[in-house]
């Protein structure tokens, strides 16, 4: 499963890239606003930190303006992936862009039927929001299972990009189901390293090493 960082914070992206775990980055208007930086500038900088897809979202709601925005965004770098909402106009834009060889991430997916539509429109990625689904009393992982089954039934090329990931269990269950990608805030990805037995093991090794009085360097 590929790991994308869901952030517009450059320092966090650099840190993730240094681990070798970073396969791409997703951004959205809210993350850009949180960064306090110019949209085009920060997107260009992110594209230089990873060879993987960097999702840059259009903000228009109508197809013609989405296409105009997409034309500007995809000139930023070769690895820009245009992010569009799961609406009729969004899917029109998806179809036009993917037919032209541009990567497209169809976002704000909350049903398997919506995911089916995105795949039929040729989406590179579809982004079901599991955390927000959980917030509304549903099981976000059931949505991922349904999408995986549908995509496998018809051999769709669209990759399932699990979004709105809140914790390690979301990551684990996504991997068990067979999602192609998960995108999460850097703090969630860093949390995957943590285990109390790992910490205790390191503590014990260091304590025993001190008794030897030796040094490696």
Q: Is 75 a catalytic residue?
A: no
Q: What is the dihedral of CA 53, 54, 60, 61, to 10 degrees?
A: 50
In this structure, are residues 106 and 90 in contact, taking their beta carbons and an 8 Å threshold?
yes
Residue by residue, DSSP assigns 70-126 as HHHHTTS-TTEEEEEESSHHHHHHHHHHHHTT--EEEEEE-SHHHHHHHHHTT-SEE
CA quadruple 101, 107, 110, 114: dihedral positive or negative? negative
CA separation for the pair 143, 147 (Å, rounded): 6
One of 34, 68, 83, 194 is an active-site residue; which one?
83
Cβ contacts of 170 within 8 Å, gap of 6 or more: 130, 131, 140, 141, 162, 182, 184, 188
Long-range CB contacts for residues 196-202, cutoff 8 Å, separation at least 24? none
Query: Mind telling me the catalytic residues?
Result: 83
């Amino acid at each position: 499963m590929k790991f994308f960082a869901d952030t517009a914070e450059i320092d966090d992206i650099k840190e993730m890239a240094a681990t070798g775990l970073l396969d791409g980055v997703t951004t959205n208007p809210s993350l850009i606003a949180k960064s306090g930086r110019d949209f085009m500038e920060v997107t260009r900088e992110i594209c230089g930190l990873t060879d993987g897809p960097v999702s840059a979202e259009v903000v228009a709601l109508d197809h013609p303006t989405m296409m105009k925005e997409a034309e500007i965004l995809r000139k930023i770098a070769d690895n820009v992936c245009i992010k569009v909402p799961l609406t009729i106009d969004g899917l029109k834009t998806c179809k036009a862009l993917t037919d032209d060889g541009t990567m497209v991430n169809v976002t704000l997916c909350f049903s398997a039927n919506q995911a089916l539509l995105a795949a039929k429109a040729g989406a590179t990625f579809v982004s079901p929001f599991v955390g927000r689904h959980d917030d509304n009393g549903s099981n976000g992982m059931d949505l991922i299972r349904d999408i995986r089954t549908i995509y496998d039934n018809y051999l769709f090329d669209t990759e399932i990009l699990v979004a709105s990931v809140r914790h390690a269990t979301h990551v684990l269950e996504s991997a068990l189901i067979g999602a192609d990608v998960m995108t999460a805030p850097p703090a969630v990805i860093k949390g995957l390293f943590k285990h109390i037995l790992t910490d205790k093991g390191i503590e014990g090794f260091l304590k025993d090493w001190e008794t030897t009085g030796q040094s490696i360097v």
